[in-house]
Amino acid sequence: MTELKRRTVIAGLGALAVTPVFAPAIAQKRYDEGANDREIKIGNIMPYSGNASAYGVIGRTSEAVMKMVNDAGGLNGRKVTFITYDDGYSPPKAVEMVRKLVEEDKVLLVFNPLGTPSNTAIQRYLNQRKVPQLFVATGASKWGNPRQFPWTMGWQPDYVTEGAIYAKHILSTKPDAKIGVLMQNDDYGKDYFNGFKQGLGPANERRIVQLSTYEVTDPTVDSQMIQLKNSGADVFFNITTPKFAAQAIKKAAEIAWKPIHYLNNVSSSFGSVLKPAGIDNAQGIIVALYRKDASDPQWVNSPDVVAWKAFMAKYMPNADMRDDGHNYGFSVAHTLLQALRQAGDNLTRENVMKEAANIKGFEAPLLLPGIKINTSPTDFYPIQSVQLARVKGESFELFGGVLSNESTS
């Protein structure tokens, strides 16, 4: 009953949101709060402290990208001011910081806030105030819902889609698989697992012979790995964040368990997962990718990787180059620049949102070849394609074609 009520309220808000805010003025240049002839103000929140502080580098990278833009003369002649606050990965603090961004700093939009809990907490507020919540940094499947939340848009492929893609691949290559799943026991893990089950379909759900969960507070996943090995599973779907992924890969080698290993994209990094886990132990692991790992030798001459390296050398000289957050931040910040470029001199919130939902075939830097950003007024999922790859040496060997959401549903 309460659920129903809330939906009704939200739907009502959505209807309000699409009505024009004011009648169009005659002048060509149009602005909302946070934009004028000289400046565009962008707000951002990140966990710079607390448990998820590892992701803080994404915010620092976006900030540095904006500095690079300003050094090159700004965006359409306007200086980009990037204001980023620490939310400590805590939803109440996220709300507080976002209110500060909107009401005190008067930003044009809130860009790439990180984490499913924080984004959930600020979504209603931003939609009520009609402030864009653009390209959120979470792979939950709920951010592409323009009917209820016309001011919120995701960015990366969502976990449900990705989970389904692994399931389809297992069914087509090993129909008699006995599947063991290691899952982080929270919304992120469940999203992946649900997608995976959907991909298998009800008839094949029994192929999952063991589901072992862990809590983020567990020091190790050793005990779970022993359970999985003893379940007799010959296919392993590894839904873990980087530290636990490295532990699981290493432990599997230690206890001589050699299943076909599928690793979620969240942990598809050489620098922060596969190398610490031991490259030998990681051979043959299958991951779904949508971005290039800039440390992968196969991309060394690719222009976007060269540009990224030059950017890192100049604007983040002390950063840990192995940290995938820098790749992510570079790519997502360029997506925002694209939307703002398209908006041109009409920098109202409504128009920015309209242009964000009107990106066609944009190849953001560091996306895999063939993966493009496409949005429309009904499609608020910018990236919906991935390609499977196998770990070979210190490189990802891509195989099969680019897989899209449509082909999995």
Interface with other proteins by CB under 8 A: which residues?
49, 51, 53-54, 56-57, 185, 212-220, 222-224, 226-227, 230, 242-243, 246-247, 254-256, 271-273, 275-276, 319-320, 322-323
**Least distance from other proteins to the Cβ atom of residue 278, Å:** 8
**Least distance from other proteins to the Cβ atom of residue 213, Å:** 5
Q: Which is nearer to other proteins, 32 or 293 (CB)?
A: 293
Q: How far apart are CA 364 and CA 368, in angstroms?
A: 9
Q: How far apart are CA 124 and CA 377, in angstroms?
A: 19
Other beta carbons within 10 angstroms of residue 336's beta carbon come to 27
**Least distance from other proteins to the Cβ atom of residue 323, Å:** 5
Q: Which is nearer to other proteins, 296 or 350 (CB)?
A: 296
**Least distance from other proteins to the Cβ atom of residue 78, Å:** 32
Q: Which is nearer to other proteins, 104 or 215 (CB)?
A: 215
Residues 113 and 97 sit within 8 Å (Cβ to Cβ): no
**Least distance from other proteins to the Cβ atom of residue 175, Å:** 24
Q: Any idea which residue has 């925002």 for tokens?
A: 336
Q: Which is nearer to other proteins, 176 or 215 (CB)?
A: 215
Q: For the chain, first and last CA: distance in Å?
A: 30
Q: How far apart are CA 351 and CA 371, in angstroms?
A: 25
**Least distance from other proteins to the Cβ atom of residue 365, Å:** 22
Q: Which is nearer to other proteins, 3 or 215 (CB)?
A: 215
CA angle 267, 58, 370 (to 5 degrees): 65
**Least distance from other proteins to the Cβ atom of residue 313, Å:** 17
Enumerate the β-bridge partners of residue 137.
114
Q: Which is nearer to other proteins, 217 or 378 (CB)?
A: 217
Q: Which is nearer to other proteins, 265 or 351 (CB)?
A: 265
Radius of gyration of the chain (CA): 21
Instruction: Give me 169's structure tokens.
Output: 């691949």
Q: How far apart are CA 403 and CA 386, in angstroms?
A: 5
Q: Which is nearer to other proteins, 231 or 338 (CB)?
A: 231
State the greatest distance between any 2 C-alpha atoms of the chain, in Å, as a whole number: 72
Q: Which is nearer to other proteins, 15 or 255 (CB)?
A: 255
Q: Any idea which residue has 């991935």 for tokens?
A: 386
**Least distance from other proteins to the Cβ atom of residue 92, Å:** 18
Residues 113 and 98 sit within 8 Å (Cβ to Cβ): yes
Amino acid at 332: V
- Comparing C-alpha atoms, which of 120, 109, 119, 65 is closest to residue 325? 65
Q: How far apart are CA 401 and CA 409, in angstroms?
A: 17
Q: How far apart are CA 46 and CA 95, in angstroms?
A: 12
**Least distance from other proteins to the Cβ atom of residue 391, Å:** 17
- Comparing C-alpha atoms, which of 239, 230, 194 is closest to residue 209? 230
